[in-house]
Amino acid sequence: MISADQIKILANQFANDVVQIRRHIHANPELSFQEFETAKYVSKELRAIGIEPKEGIAGTGLTALIKGRNPEKKTVALRGDMDALPILEANDVDYKSTNEGVMHACGHDVHTACVLGAARILNELKDQFEGTVKLVFQPGEEKNPGGASLMIKDGALENPRPDRMLGQHVMPFIPTGKVGFREGMYMASADEIYLTVKGKGGHAALPDKVIDPIIIASHILVALQQVVSRNADPKTPTVLSFGTIHGGQAQNIIPDEVKISGTFRALNEDWRFEAHKRITAIAKGVAEGMGGECDVNIDVGYPYLSNDIKTTQVARQAATEYLGEENIVDLDLWMGAEDFAFYTHEVPSSFYRLGTGNEVKGTTNGVHTPNFNIDEDAIELGIGLMAWIALNQLYQI
């Protein structure tokens, strides 16, 4: 049986190369569903080690297989997401984004590089384990409807279908050298809420001649707080937040309409869709009661993410053997969303966190910020641990 020490030796051997892969991807970020060059680069890296990818899945996605002995017997899949965010990078590093206004601010460069690094390790050992490791590189994690959903529709989980699946995500709030796990419910669903409040504009000095959409919009925003405070089960985490409100062009002109957008997060699918109905009814009802109208558009996004108990237990035990119990962190519920959730509804899966925080190196800024970066010492751990967990999943199937 392959030992953790064998994995650690190979991880150390490949770490510098994988750091360079990460830096190349970081310097050349591409937005969701536009990862054309990134996909070509990933394919090139796979072919360089003798792995032939299947390209063009869901547009820019790809899959590949590492076949051990008796490859048809069992399969574990590893996910890497490839897209970046529309953020202007503020980091002063040699590998800073060369695509101005686009940045790998959520660590997807690390995720993709780590799957490629784990692939190198597992490819070296393929004659020593039974089963298949399936590599899944997906587009569009950051944008509805989520690249994972499109990969599934395009057959990424077929031929072969994974018995289990793993997703590894950077976490700047966990120190480098540690990893985090949570069994069961972990992350929230995420839906985008768009409201268009319609009234009748006019001169601000003649309020009796208008139907003021700004006043209506303010009442709608206050009323919608009841969705969480008076409709949601207090034991069910729920978030309804609004991030934009736009209306009008001048201080003395009442506009015809106001546009509002927000996000709804939940950890229960039945309540999630019941809440959509309540949001719609309240917004429309308030507007009509004040003489206006409200168009409601709810863009249904990612479902909640639930980690399979057995898969996560195996992953945690493997990590404990690899790192020691003192380096394992218990994760709390997280109201952020992740399209890996789609996979968790299809295949027993585990989504865990790789610590990348280092105060001395200044890598504790949150994801989705212009100063986000990682402690690259985490990459050696990331590739070795992912390979080790994948092998332990194969052993346990």
pLDDT tens digits for range 214-262: 999 999 999 999 999 999 999 999 999 999 999 999 999 999 999 999 9
CA distance 211 to 293: 10
In this structure, are residues 53 and 43 in contact, taking their beta carbons and an 8 Å threshold? yes
Distances (CA, A) of 370 to 61, 90, 172, 367: 26, 5, 14, 9
CA distance 66 to 52: 9
Identify the pLDDT of residue 203: 97
Q: What value does the mean pLDDT take over residues 376-397?
A: 98
Rg (CA), the chain: 23
Closest CA to 194 of 309, 296, 316, 60: 296
Helix or strand or coil: residue 8? helix
Q: What is the pLDDT of residues 116-148, one digit of tens each?
A: 999 999 999 999 999 999 999 999 999 999 999
Q: Is 271 exposed, middle or buried (0-12, 13-18, 19+ CB in 10 A)?
A: middle
Tracing tokens 């519920």 back to the chain, one arrives at: 333
CA distance 40 to 47: 11
What b/e readout covers 58-93, taking b as 16+ CB neighbours within 10 angstroms? bbbbbbbbbbbeebeebbbbbbbbbbbbebebebee
At 25, give phi and psi (nearest 5°). Answer: -65, -40
Alpha helix (H) ranges present in the chain? 4-27, 36-48, 108-124, 147-153, 213-223, 226, 269-289, 309-323, 341-344, 378-396
Band of residue 149 on the pLDDT scale cut at 50, 70, 90: very high
**Would 4-187+304-396 and 189-302 be classified into the same CATH topology?**
no
Taking the alpha carbons of 396, 107, 94, 177 in that order, is the dihedral positive or negative? negative
Q: What is the pLDDT of residues 4-20, one digit of tens each?
A: 999 999 999 999 999 99
Neighbours of 270 (CB within 10 A): 9
Identify the pLDDT of residue 1: 86
Indicate the average pLDDT of the chain: 97
> Count of alpha carbons within 13 Å of 116, Cβ hemisphere only?
33
Distances (CA, A) of 212 to 67, 217, 250, 279, 308: 65, 9, 14, 21, 50
CA distance 212 to 14: 63
In this structure, are residues 140 and 150 in contact, taking their beta carbons and an 8 Å threshold? yes
Domain-wise residue ranges, the chain: 4-187+304-396, 189-302
Band of residue 368 on the pLDDT scale cut at 50, 70, 90: very high
Instruction: Give the CATH number of domain 189-302.
Output: 3.30.70.360
Q: Is 274 exposed, middle or buried (0-12, 13-18, 19+ CB in 10 A)?
A: middle
Helix or strand or coil: residue 329? strand
In this structure, are residues 47 and 119 in contact, taking their beta carbons and an 8 Å threshold? no
Tell me which amino acid residue 2 is: I
Identify the pLDDT of residue 336: 96
CA distance 300 to 164: 26
Q: What value does the mean pLDDT take over residues 332-359?
A: 98
**CATH architecture of the domain covering 4-187+304-396:** 3-Layer(aba) Sandwich (3.40)
CA distance 258 to 244: 10
In this structure, are residues 312 and 167 in contact, taking their beta carbons and an 8 Å threshold? no
Residues facing residue 259 across a β-bridge? 196, 246
Q: What is the pLDDT of residues 277-307, one digit of tens each?
A: 999 999 999 999 999 999 999 999 999 999 9
Q: What is the pLDDT of residues 164-181, one digit of tens each?
A: 999 999 999 999 999 999
Identify the pLDDT of residue 328: 98
Category of 159 on φ-ψ map: left (φ > 0), alpha (ψ -120 to 50) or beta: left
